Chain A
């Protein structure tokens, strides 16, 4: 190896090392933001980051580099708690941001009220993905517990999206039984007897359904269902919207403790505000998220969303009540999920 190449490699190693050690060696004008997000937002933030960087450059003349980190919502929250220096978090569940607030104090307890719409610039809902032509004739939640139907959903214990699935099913059953929670529980218990595989994440469940050909219906985020239709073949699948579903609100928050330490508050705030802007709402709708202000988005995009009666998490007493009741250790999910009974 020539000494030149060796020197190059040493430089490379040093460069990588210095990047890891924080902002050493980066020009002052070049700010870096870290957005710690959950799994299904990759495509959304790829677009959005580029748009925001461009706007920030135009407005202030500064370059901003936005780094993203994606993973299961709970795992991402844990990373931030353990010291991952996120400037903003954009997660699947309110409970995950609450956990960061509680464990680190880097986010104030009232974070939810700091931005419009409970800090959810975009929302989504739960729909069914079925095989082309809907061979089993699945129209609504009631059809899922018929004999011979296999339902694919990830595990509510490990997947934020699956918790929305669970609650959407519950909401339908409660409404169908005149508000009877016991009947709703029976239905949901029945539903999970039709689940042959519990993947740990939403995308794992999609793969099981699409690639492995398992199951008759996949319970999925609306944005995920459309994305998989686009990515994996509109000829093979179609989307069925049930009569009732849940309004899933993936919230965003500024991590005050980190932005103040890094001096990135201004740009981080602008980043989150931009999500609510004209452009931000357009990009969200383009990626099949239901924008908070649909009037700002492209009508062509918003027309894709089917009309569906949406219940909100407030009907379950908010996440602060729903999370421990349904999903904590020994909660409703643990009680009903006993195979072989």
Chain B
């Protein structure tokens, strides 16, 4: 598989096999049309709306909106929160996927479901649980307060809420992929005398790296874009505890539509930066990917 990818030649498939392993031209075009139509209706147009609104008054106004110190501090805060939250969930996600995908054990579906839970919790509640846990009326809150540790309405609370909301992303991305791949590669490596860590670094990781990347990208995008949960624990102090999504809401509510959509556009672009990175990696390693797909 991915182990000996570099030398695998791409054998030209025969015409007959090709016909049987791909669709007719008409089916292909129809599928592409359906997919594109759907994307246009549900993704492209809303995104276009955001950018059109952001540039409604021209690029100068767009740039001015972003130079606002409060907006700048919101961008900074969002990045700080994401930089802390995403790696935490990355480590967790890999560990969870390893346990769930590589082993058969009782209660696996139950465990998987527990991991999925944060998705089904309404964002409002995701924030509320931490208020119940660390608020002034909780057992923990006043205790921590005595030692000058602020969780709510400060960075730690924002990080906690974000970690909660993005909790399942990496794990959920990896589990189906690692299940699909099975354990034969690892077993082979182990039987050749590799240690567990060596197997993980040199066999498993290369196999799952694209899925892992997807997971991290999603996790990151969601971490930066989360609104509901963060809104509950933020306290909305201007220039201090407002993340970008909260800043968008503030600006929108001030009828400052251009600035609101400008920040939203930056948020969309930030998510796209990571995707550009992924594309660049894919191009750089395109041979390897092609080979690993063909085995």
The chain A residues found within 8 Å of chain B, CB to CB, are 12-13, 16-17, 19-22, 24, 34, 39, 42-43, 67-71, 76, 79, 81-85, 103-104, 201, 203, 207, 227-228, 231-232
Contact = CB atoms under 8 A, between A and B. Distances in A.
A300 B148 CA distance: 49
B150 A21 contact: yes
Interface in B233-250: 235-241, 250
20 contacts: A12-B76, A13-B80, A16-B76, A16-B77, A16-B155, A17-B155, A20-B150, A21-B149, A22-B150, A34-B237, A67-B238, A68-B238, A69-B235, A81-B136, A82-B137, A82-B152, A83-B136, A83-B145, A83-B153, A201-B253
Contacts of A85: 153
B136 A104 contact: yes
- Which 4 residue pairs are nearest across A and B when measured between Cβ atoms? A83-B136, A82-B135, A20-B154, A231-B255
B254 interface: yes
B165 interface: no
B262 interface: no
B254 A42 contact: yes
B41 to A, nearest CB: 19
Nearest to B154: A20
Contacts of A67: 237-240
A94 B156 CA distance: 32
Contact of A83 (B135, B148, B155, B239): B135
Given A19-B240, A70-B238, 16 more contacts: A13-B80, A17-B155, A21-B148, A22-B148, A34-B237, A42-B250, A67-B239, A69-B236, A70-B253, A79-B153, A79-B236, A81-B135, A82-B131, A82-B135, A82-B152, A203-B253
Nearest to A227: B255
Chain B interface residue number, banded: 20 to 34
Contacts of B148: 21-22, 24
Contact of B237 (A43, A69, A201): A69
Nearest to B155: A20
Contacts of A227: 255
Given A12-B76, A17-B155, A81 B237 contact: no
Contacts of B134: 83
Contacts of B118: none
A21 B76 contact: no
A30 to B, nearest CB: 15
Given A13-B80, A69-B238, A82-B136, A43 B153 contact: no
B141 to A, nearest CB: 6
A83 B237 contact: no
Interface in B121-163: 131, 134-137, 141, 145, 148-150, 152-156
Contacts of A34: 237
A21 B154 contact: yes
A70 B253 CA distance: 10
Given A82-B137, A83-B141, A39 B237 contact: no
